[in-house]
Structure 1
């Protein structure tokens, strides 16, 4: 006899499974008691005239697009309404929430419905072992939930998760995850595929240029993937098919909608859209209210269907997902979620990658990427919340031997939080500003923000307190702590690590130029925003020093400029490194950085990193009589770039004369 786990017992208590009779021996089928009672009650009310029949439209989308489809198929939805398990129980339907489908979604859902109905009638014969499954070994094709002997009862088709959430909020979504109640995802994908092939053979729809195969992603419990998933492209959309998940230890292959909903990460993601009834279902009883902010606080809430600690132990990455959704949806974390994130040691240990069942660093990095970029991303808010919840040290772990000295790690993260907030204030100022550019309605400094790489800017700002720390990663070989955080902690690409290292490695030089410009503007007695400043001081920046710095950071120079401004703001506020000749106020920093950006463009330095020498290496060797290529060639190449920055209209002959002069001076200089 197999005992149920405490988690399964709690789940059964929520779902009311203890009140249900056991499933029929030899096969799994959802318990239809409440649904049957609802149907019987509804039928009696219809006969008495008290309850008009619901509108069961014949899914016009695909039939309108393909008028040659057999007319009998259009009425199949109504005929199948009382088949099998029937529609969901009345208390799960959210009657005051509806979803408006796009024409492509109508077409997609009509096809899935028609495919299910054709299969239920026995018109389709599907043998998934003969299906063109991809990424599944031949001897594995019959593994997973077995439903070959199950009767062809009604298949309830539900879209789950993010698509439902986004559509309710009025946002478009292409992330369609289909959940089935009594067939596996692989089998239903095969049903849809076979139905489309039938339509093609009948000439109802044209054959696609490329035949799309069913790809199967196996379950991987070690990485918290509990169910096998089938993916297939239908029309222009990529679909995932999976069966409803039962609680662990239930002894069944298929779960009920309520069981599956309670096992999901958050109530707002546990909503279903029933494709056959075209209604939203909320089996947790609070998903719609949490998503729409209809609770006592009047705010959206990120809450878990079950106890938050249990939910996060089921997959610790959900702690990071809570942050991402809270920021994206402008929602509050429930007390239970906040407590589990900050206090549950098992969750924190697994999230950090320690012990059995830990989360891979690749998954951590992927979740962080969702906070930094993509639709609805608010990287500053997300990073601030990670620090507030003490999750940042788990996301960005320190290497052994990081050499923090007497400073605790928490102090670095407190400084990081201040830097991220300073960045948010700076961006707000740049976007709103005090003046307008060229008498237009565009804030004068808004182009600076638009030209910055916001993803890298936020990440480098957050990690800037660690920029001077290094560790020995090989014998007598050192690298920065930030490099470890990026490459090993979150497994970002090498180009991301190179970009952030470039920003942090050159930010002090950018600060020096910024302070020099600030002193110059203060000496003129002019307001940096006044247009006459452009005429009186056409060359605000030293071209060689500025140009050579921009050649190091290349297209990231606006990003580096804002990062330097943030560090200067923190220095002015008393929370950063102070240097001689700094700024007096935060507003001075922001005005000067905005003018720095405009001056770079006015002086034609914005493409300094694209400058090419007038004489290539071979010409340098020939002109200066160096005999053969060597290290000195690069010295003269760099000397050319400096000369071009000072003489943007200079000729090749003039450049040759300059190089000969430099060579003569070097030859006359005493040997060191």
Structure 2
């Protein structure tokens, strides 16, 4: 006899499955649903000549072909839900929440419903091993199944998770995850595919130009993927099909909707949309209220259906996901979630990658990417929350040999929190400002923010306190701690590591230029926003030094400029590196950085990294008589760039004279 775990017993108590009656016979539908009835009727009418073949008339969509077909959710659900076995129990239906479907979603759900009805009546015969039409013989594609099978049990089709959440909040979503109650995801995908093939044979829909195979993603419990998933493209959307998950130790393959909902990460993600009844279902009893902020505090809440520690041990990555959803939805973390994230050692150990059942660094990086970019991303808020919950050291682990103890590392992350907050204040100032550009409604410094790479800016700002730390990663070979964090900690691409290294490696030079401009602006005794002063700004930036720096950071120069401003703000506030000749106030820093951006553009330096020498390598060797190419060629190439920055309208002949002069001076200089 197999004993159930305490977690499974708790789930049974929640779900009431001890009292669940066995499936009854005769739950098949006594008649076809409206979608199937119409398709069959239209096929008969076409054969009798009442309708032209579909190839001779336009195709507006699978269920927009006939005016008699009900297209609304209410008319479809009334018939689909009341025929046969009927909808699920009403205690899970959220009656005061509805979802408005788009035409494409209506079409997709109508197809899935009609496919299920056809399968339940025995009209479809599905062989999952042959579900990929690409590998079928031609006669099999033409003829299709011919044997009518016995009626089958009703399939309840539900869309789960993010699509339901976003649609309730009025946002569009293409992330459609379909959950089935009594067939596997692979089998239902095969049912839908077989049904679409039947429609093609009947001439109801045109054959697609390219058939999409059903891809099966196997379960991988070691990486917390508990169920096999089938993916398939239907019309223009990618769908995932999976069966409802039972509790561990239940001894059966299929779970109930309540069991599945209780095993999901958060109550707001545990809502279902029943495709056949067109109703929202909340089997946790809390999902709709938590999502819509209908609790006592009047705020959205990120909470787990069961105990948060158990939920996070089931997949520790959910601790990071809690941060992402809290920031995206502007929601609070429940006390249980906050406690589990900060205090549960097993969750923290697995999230850091230690021991059996740990989370892969790739999954950590992917979750972080969701915080930094994409729809609804608020990277500053997300990074601040990671630091606040003491998750940042787990996301960005230090390499062995970094030489920091826990207390010292904590101090570095406190600095990082201050830097991220300073960045948020700077962006707010740039976007709102205290002046308008060209008498328009656009804040004068807003273009600076728009030209910055916000994802890299937030990441480099957060990691900037670690920029001077390095470690020996091979014998007598060193690299920065930040490089390790990016490449090994979160497994970001090499181009991301290169960009962040470029920003952090040149930010001190940018700070020097920024302070130099600040001193000149302060020396004028006038407000830097006044037209009289801004007209003279191009002459305030040293073209060679500025241009050569911009050639190093290239298109990231606005990002580097804001990063330098953040470090200067922290220096002014007494929480950063102090330097001689710094700024007096935070406003001075922000004004100067905004004027720096405008001056670079006015001076024509914003594309300095695209400058090409007037004489290429061969011309340099020939003109200066160097004999053969060597290291000196690059010296004179760089000398040309400096000359062009000083003389943007200079000619090739003038440049040659300059190079000869430089060569003569170098030859006359004493050897060192």
Give the TM-score of the pair, scaled to structure 2: 0.91
Secondary structure of residue in 2 paired with 1:253: coil
Per-residue CA deviation, residues 48-67 of structure 1 (Å, 9 max, x unaligned), is: 99999999999998432467
CA distance in 1, matches of 2:195, 2:36: 29
Distance 1:624 1:364, change over 3 A: same
CA distance in 1, matches of 2:596, 2:388: 33
Contact 2:230 2:242 in 1 (8 A): yes
Contact 2:43 2:204 in 1 (8 A): no
Contact 1:32 1:85 in 2 (8 A): no
* 1:668 aligned partner: 668
Distance 1:110 1:296, change over 3 A: same
* 2:106 aligned partner: 106
Q: CA deviation at 1:19?
A: 3.0
CA distance in 2, matches of 1:344, 1:543: 55
Distance 1:423 1:54, change over 3 A: farther
Q: CA deviation at 1:77?
A: 6.7
Q: CA deviation at 1:123?
A: 1.0
Per-residue CA deviation, residues 180-215 of structure 1 (Å, 9 max, x unaligned), is: 001100000001001111111111111111111111
CA distance in 1, matches of 2:558, 2:103: 43
Contact 1:158 1:275 in 2 (8 A): yes
Distance 1:104 1:251, change over 3 A: same
Deviates more, 1:500-509 or 1:15-24: 15-24
Deviates more, 1:522-531 or 1:533-542: 533-542
CA distance in 1, matches of 2:44, 2:94: 23
Deviates more, 1:366-375 or 1:150-159: 150-159
What is the count of residue pairs matched by the alignment?
672
Q: CA deviation at 1:533?
A: 1.1
1:425-574 equivalence runs, <5 A: 425-574=425-574
Q: CA deviation at 1:127?
A: 1.0
Secondary structure of residue in 2 paired with 1:111: helix
Contact 2:611 2:641 in 1 (8 A): yes
CA distance in 1, matches of 2:28, 2:581: 77
Secondary structure of residue in 1 paired with 2:63: helix
Q: CA deviation at 1:29?
A: 17
Deviates more, 1:36-45 or 1:395-404: 36-45
Contact 1:467 1:480 in 2 (8 A): yes
Q: CA deviation at 1:408?
A: 1.1
Per-residue CA deviation, residues 26-60 of structure 1 (Å, 9 max, x unaligned), is: 99999999999999999999999999999999999
Contact 2:29 2:154 in 1 (8 A): no
CA distance in 1, matches of 2:258, 2:126: 28
Distance 1:392 1:311, change over 3 A: same
Distance 1:232 1:64, change over 3 A: same
Contact 1:398 1:481 in 2 (8 A): yes
Q: CA deviation at 1:88?
A: 1.5
Q: CA deviation at 1:431?
A: 0.1
CA distance in 2, matches of 1:317, 1:148: 47
Contact 2:125 2:149 in 1 (8 A): no
Distance 1:36 1:21, change over 3 A: farther
Gaps of 5+ in 1: none
Contact 1:261 1:271 in 2 (8 A): yes
Distance 1:558 1:92, change over 3 A: same
Contact 1:39 1:82 in 2 (8 A): no
Contact 1:135 1:216 in 2 (8 A): no
Q: CA deviation at 1:534?
A: 2.8
Q: CA deviation at 1:602?
A: 0.4
Contact 1:61 1:103 in 2 (8 A): no
Secondary structure of residue in 2 paired with 1:142: helix
Secondary structure of residue in 1 paired with 2:61: helix
Distance 1:324 1:623, change over 3 A: same
Q: CA deviation at 1:165?
A: 0.2
Secondary structure of residue in 2 paired with 1:112: helix
Contact 1:15 1:258 in 2 (8 A): yes
Q: CA deviation at 1:287?
A: 0.1
* 1:420 aligned partner: 420
CA distance in 1, matches of 2:206, 2:227: 33
CA distance in 1, matches of 2:178, 2:280: 14
Contact 2:28 2:84 in 1 (8 A): no
Distance 1:137 1:600, change over 3 A: farther
Q: CA deviation at 1:139?
A: 24
Contact 1:403 1:469 in 2 (8 A): no
- 1:176 and 2:204 equivalent? no
Secondary structure of residue in 1 paired with 2:166: helix
CA distance in 1, matches of 2:481, 2:494: 15
Contact 1:351 1:359 in 2 (8 A): yes
Contact 1:224 1:314 in 2 (8 A): yes
Contact 1:550 1:557 in 2 (8 A): yes
Distance 1:25 1:171, change over 3 A: closer
Secondary structure of residue in 2 paired with 1:115: helix
Contact 2:470 2:480 in 1 (8 A): yes
Secondary structure of residue in 2 paired with 1:64: coil
Distance 1:376 1:54, change over 3 A: farther
Deviates more, 1:47-56 or 1:569-578: 47-56
CA distance in 1, matches of 2:308, 2:243: 24
Distance 1:302 1:73, change over 3 A: closer
Gaps of 5+ in 2: none
Deviates more, 1:45-54 or 1:68-77: 45-54
Per-residue CA deviation, residues 557-584 of structure 1 (Å, 9 max, x unaligned), is: 0000000000000000000000000000
Distance 1:211 1:150, change over 3 A: same
CA distance in 2, matches of 1:661, 1:67: 85
Contact 2:294 2:300 in 1 (8 A): yes
Deviates more, 1:84-93 or 1:64-73: 64-73
* 1:23 aligned partner: 23
Contact 2:29 2:117 in 1 (8 A): no
Distance 1:22 1:138, change over 3 A: farther
CA distance in 2, matches of 1:368, 1:3: 39
Q: CA deviation at 1:539?
A: 1.2
* 1:41 aligned partner: 41
Contact 2:124 2:148 in 1 (8 A): no
Contact 1:397 1:485 in 2 (8 A): yes
CA distance in 2, matches of 1:59, 1:451: 44
Distance 1:53 1:111, change over 3 A: closer
Contact 2:328 2:376 in 1 (8 A): yes
Distance 1:257 1:469, change over 3 A: same
Contact 1:34 1:89 in 2 (8 A): no
Q: CA deviation at 1:536?
A: 3.6
Per-residue CA deviation, residues 318-372 of structure 1 (Å, 9 max, x unaligned), is: 0000000000000000000000000000000000000000000000000000000
CA distance in 1, matches of 2:118, 2:36: 23
Q: CA deviation at 1:9?
A: 1.2
* 1:191 aligned partner: 191
Distance 1:459 1:30, change over 3 A: farther
Contact 1:66 1:204 in 2 (8 A): no
CA distance in 1, matches of 2:567, 2:144: 56
CA distance in 2, matches of 1:366, 1:146: 46
Secondary structure of residue in 2 paired with 1:330: coil
Per-residue CA deviation, residues 258-297 of structure 1 (Å, 9 max, x unaligned), is: 0000000000000000001000000000000000000000
CA distance in 2, matches of 1:58, 1:256: 43
Distance 1:146 1:404, change over 3 A: farther
Contact 1:316 1:347 in 2 (8 A): yes
Contact 1:514 1:592 in 2 (8 A): yes
Q: CA deviation at 1:13?
A: 1.3
Contact 1:290 1:302 in 2 (8 A): yes
Secondary structure of residue in 2 paired with 1:375: coil
Contact 1:35 1:88 in 2 (8 A): no
Contact 2:167 2:173 in 1 (8 A): yes
Distance 1:500 1:240, change over 3 A: same
CA distance in 2, matches of 1:627, 1:515: 44
CA distance in 2, matches of 1:237, 1:42: 26
Q: CA deviation at 1:135?
A: 13
